């Protein structure tokens, strides 16, 4: 079984588990709660940066796949309460 590291590193659950484990280790080895709290804050800040960088990289690598195609037959018209406008239809 292959680990999907991109998905793992952008997971909030993964980083919460890492932060929790690290804080418990610090307390076990005699560090005070203040040091554990600062370490957890640092881990979560780093996790946010890592997730942002990976997310932006994935969006950039996808290229134009995230752009809106206004020629699609399923473009939504704001005047019709978000009901799809089929190709060739005109507004009533």
- Parse the chain into domains and list their residue ranges: 1-63
Beta-carbon contacts of 18 under 8 Å, excluding residues fewer than 6 positions away, are 43, 47
pLDDT average per 10 residues of sequence, the chain (92 residues): 82 88 91 90 90 85 60 56 57 55
Flag whether the pTM goes above 0.85. Answer: no
* Separation CA 83–CA 12 (nearest Å): 34
* Separation CA 80–CA 83 (nearest Å): 6
């Amino acid at each position: 079984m292959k680990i999907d590291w991109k998905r793992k590193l952008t997971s909030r659950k993964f980083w919460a588990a890492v932060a929790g484990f690290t804080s418990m280790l610090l307390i076990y080895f005699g560090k005070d709660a203040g040091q554990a709290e600062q370490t957890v804050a640092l881990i979560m800040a780093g996790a946010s940066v890592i997730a942002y960088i990976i997310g932006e990289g994935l969006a950039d690598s996808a290229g134009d796949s995230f752009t809106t195609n206004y020629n699609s037959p399923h473009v939504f018209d704001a005047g019709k309460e978000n009901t799809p406008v089929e190709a060739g239809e005109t507004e009533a």
